[in-house]
């Protein structure tokens, strides 16, 4: 979630769980929290809906740069099939992915949000055009795709998984990336002066350092092919970094 960074406990006052902040993640509590949020951009972005436009523009610019360097995915052609992970109400799909991909699948554990995507007005056009693919009401820690993708987009949702779950999830999903495709991670980054990840009890999530995320990508067998900071967010918020990842050893994708 979009978040103000002015909330951390100095190292000297930290308990052992704070030294391993992801140990405090409670996925049931997280789902309960998200189920109480409104099904709109304000609810998705923790009271900072005004950053959505610039966030989506930053994502579009980042992908455009990736496509400029890609043989498989030139800028002139839409990607075939992509998946929006931890999609919430589908803000990223509606604001950006629908422009760059033919078909978009959705993974989101909160039923209230997936119900809106499957039946609500905002997705009506995509549904009628046959461009909304499969919608999975499921957490990423247990989701296994049934097809391959040109791009797997994770935004503000890996923070809901423990470190071990992030590495395991990315390792599992990378097998479903088509040749030349990208796994994208766009997450808040803590620049906590003491170098620790930060647990947030509001939505039972963890904001990680850039170093931690890089270590998890490596563990999952993914290499960073591009990375960029999101520009233009208010200074009070966490920095947000985008990473484009590809398997460090290329193998044939699953179906």
Annotated binding site for S-adenosyl-L-methionine: 86, 91, 155
Per CB under 6 A, which region of 59-67, 70-78, 87-95, 172-180 contacts ligand SAM? 87-95
- Considering only residues 39, 114, 148, 160, which one is a binding residue for ligand SAM as defined by CB under 6 A? 160
By CB under 6 A, what part of segment 25-54 binds ligand SAM?
A: 27, 30, 34, 44
Cite the annotated binding site by residue number: 86, 91, 155
DSSP result, 176-205? TEEEEEEEEEEEEE---TT---EEETTTTE
- Crossing angle for the helix pair 111-119 and 27-35, to the nearest 10 degrees: 50
Neighbours of 31 (CB within 10 A): 16
Positive or negative torsion for Cα 254, 135, 34, 97: positive
Least Cβ distance, residue 169 to ligand SAM (angstroms): 8
Of 160 and 196, which has the nearer Cβ to ligand SAM? 160
Per CB under 6 A, which region of 57-65, 86-94, 114-122, 233-241 contacts ligand SAM? 86-94
Least Cβ distance, residue 142 to ligand SAM (angstroms): 8
DSSP result, 26-89? -HHHHHHHHHTS-SSHHHHTTT-GGGHHHHHHHHHHHHHHHHHT-SSS-TTS-EEEEEEET-TT
Q: Which residues contact ligand SAM (rule: CB under 6 A)?
A: 1, 27, 30, 34, 44, 86-88, 91-92, 108-110, 113, 139-141, 155-157, 160-161
């Amino acid at each position: 979630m979009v978040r103000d960074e002015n909330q951390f406990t100095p190292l000297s006052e930290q308990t052992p769980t704070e030294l391993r902040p992801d140990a405090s993640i409670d996925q049931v509590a997280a789902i309960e929290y998200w189920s109480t949020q409104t099904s709109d951009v304000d609810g998705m972005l923790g009271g900072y809906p005004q950053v959505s436009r610039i966030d989506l523009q930053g994502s579009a610019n980042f992908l455009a740069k990736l496509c400029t360097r890609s043989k498989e995915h030139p800028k002139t052609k839409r990607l075939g099939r992509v998946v929006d992970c931890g999609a919430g109400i589908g803000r990223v799909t509606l604001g950006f992915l629908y422009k760059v991909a033919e078909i978009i699948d959705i993974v989101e554990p909160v039923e209230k949000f997936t119900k809106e995507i499957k039946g609500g007005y905002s997705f009506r056009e995509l549904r009628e055009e046959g461009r909304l693919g499969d919608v999975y009401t499921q957490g990423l820690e247990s989701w296994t795709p049934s097809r391959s993708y040109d791009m797997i987009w994770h935004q503000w949702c890996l923070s809901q998984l423990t470190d071990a779950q992030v590495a395991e999830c990315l390792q599992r999903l990378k097998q479903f990336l088509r040749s030349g495709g990208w796994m994208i991670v766009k997450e808040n980054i803590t620049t906590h002066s003491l170098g620790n990840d930060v647990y947030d009890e509001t939505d039972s999530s963890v904001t990680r350092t850039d170093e931690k995320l890089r270590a998890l990508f490596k563990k999952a067998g993914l290499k960073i092919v591009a990375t960029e900071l999101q520009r233009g967010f208010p200074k009070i918020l966490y920095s947000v970094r985008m990473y484009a990842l590809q398997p460090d050893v290329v193998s044939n994708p699953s179906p």
